[in-house]
Amino acid sequence: MIEATLAKFWAPEQDDTKWDVHKLIEQIGQSLRRTRTVLDQLLAAQPRQRAAALFREREARAAELRRSGVRNPVAQAEKEIAEREGFASGPAFNRWLRRRRDQDKKSG
């Protein structure tokens, strides 16, 4: 019973929408592939943008600490940012920052 109903619905001689559905599925697939490509490009750019923002923040904080007379202001600024951003330590943040900046120099 169900098979007969489905056969009538999808019979090519009775209904040409079957082929339109395949065309729509292909168009949706192409659209998804384009979307995936754009998202991959955006995700690839994010670490560099984050690194640039954190670099500027480190420089600004180090300048504030330097004016306050703190010893090793850059190391102190790195430690503060590392704690807030979830890095293991100030030196770990420094390594991450250098690697992102080195990637930017190599690609650009």
pLDDT in tens, 36-82: 888 877 776 678 888 889 999 999 999 999 999 999 999 999 999 99
pTM of the full structure: 0.56
Q: What is the pLDDT of residues 19-37, one digit of tens each?
A: 677 788 888 888 888 888 8
Host H or E run for residue 35: helix 17-68
* Domain residue ranges in the chain: 38-108
Nearest to 100 by CA among 39, 58, 38, 37: 58
Task: Report the largest interatomic distance among the alpha carbons of the chain, rounded to a whole angstrom.
Answer: 87
Give the position of tokens 């949706």: 28
One-letter amino acid of 38: V
| Three-class SS state of 17 | helix
